[in-house]
Structure 1
């Protein structure tokens, strides 16, 4: 190899080393300059926060958990049977007389037959008409209802009384006043079906003698029967 070729080869091997050494020195010198600069200059105010990024995608679904164990067996519950009832239906009847003019003192005055729908209901009865009692000595009469021939026992009879003291002996006269009056009440415990409702006249329970009675004189009389829920 000639001397010129050896000189070129030597330069090719040595020059990179000088370049690397120079690069190191430049890096050290630049770092020293930055340290001196940061020590002499004040730091500026921070910039505005950046906007939030877009939401990321959902992750991979997790694996199903372990099934839970069966709980303790509960106590047996009560069986409540729903009671289905029909809606209440209005049920009433009216019997009317233009002018009874009935002068009976003891016995049945009027009657009216009624169809009762339920056994657990009550009957409201009302008689409205003219009643009169007269006598020369103290007397008492009783107007009362019966249901299929028996007085009400749920809870007590349905009745009304008229008591009259003696008249005026010096004139040998008696009081004779006809007044529109009512006999009214509720009776329970009557079975469903046909019910014969009757108005009777009888004696009072305190032993007074009977007088001269009159029912429905010269006027309209009514007997009204109505079934009511309890």
Structure 2
């Protein structure tokens, strides 16, 4: 017959670690979790060191207002050459001159004709950037077409100092063989306006 169960024996010593098992396959990526609550605002960081003081800029030279107006009251029948000079003192070699003529101009002829009015600077026409001029074209049906006209523009590359600005009349470029009857000024006062201005933007 089977006897009674005996008492448990003492616990044995821990055995050596077994060899590492084979790594299983990577599991499927889980679904994206819900967005967590916004975290607390962090503390303000410490103030950084002050940067080095920049170098003081050089003081620029302000251009003072420099302008002049020459006026006369006469009807000038000159067909070519100088009509009026106006002297002007220019302060800065890097500035430009703005010149303008305003008054009546006309031309008289028995056939088609053309006269040209233009500015000169110390005897030369402007080359920076181009000449400053205006023309009047006429034909017999519109004899003596007196109208108020204005001719103006800017001239660069003129040295500082005394500048003689002339208002002149001559033939148009395509009508050089004949000098026509030009008429400058009539009843009203003629004006040449001159102003020194900063050089234009490039």
* TM bin (shorter chain): 0.5 to 0.7
Shift of 1:134: 1.1
Q: Report what 2:89 is aligned to.
A: 115
Distance 1:126 1:119 in 2: 20
1:83 Cα shift?
Answer: 4.0
The equivalent of 1:154 in structure 2 is 128
Cα separation, 1, equivalents of 2:100 and 2:91: 19
Query: What residue number does 2:66 align with?
Result: 91
TM score, norm. by length of structure 1: 0.60
TM-score by length of 2: 0.68
Deviation, structure 1 residue 82: 4.6
CA-based RMSD of the aligned residues comes to 1.6
Pairwise mapping of residues 10-25 of structure 1 onto structure 2 (< 5 A)? Answer: none
CA distance in 2, matches of 1:214, 1:176: 8
- Where do 5+ consecutive residues of structure 2 fail to align? 1-54
Q: Distance in 2 between matches of 1:152 and 1:81?
A: 40
SS of residue in 1 equivalent to 2:130: coil
Please name the residue that 1:206 is paired with: 174
Paired residue secondary structure (2:154): strand
Contiguous gaps of at least 5 residues in structure 1: 1-79, 169-173
> Structure 2 matches for 1:46-125, cutoff 5 A?
82-97=57-72, 99-125=73-99
Which of the numbers 181, 184, 188 marks the counterpart of 1:215? 184
The aligned counterpart of 1:135 is 109
Residue 53 of structure 1 is matched in structure 2 by none
Count of residue correspondences: 144
**Structure 1 outlier segments of 4+, above 3 Å:** 80-84
How far did 1:96 drift?
0.8
Structure-2 separation of matches of 1:115 and 1:197: 10
> Which has more radius of gyration?
1
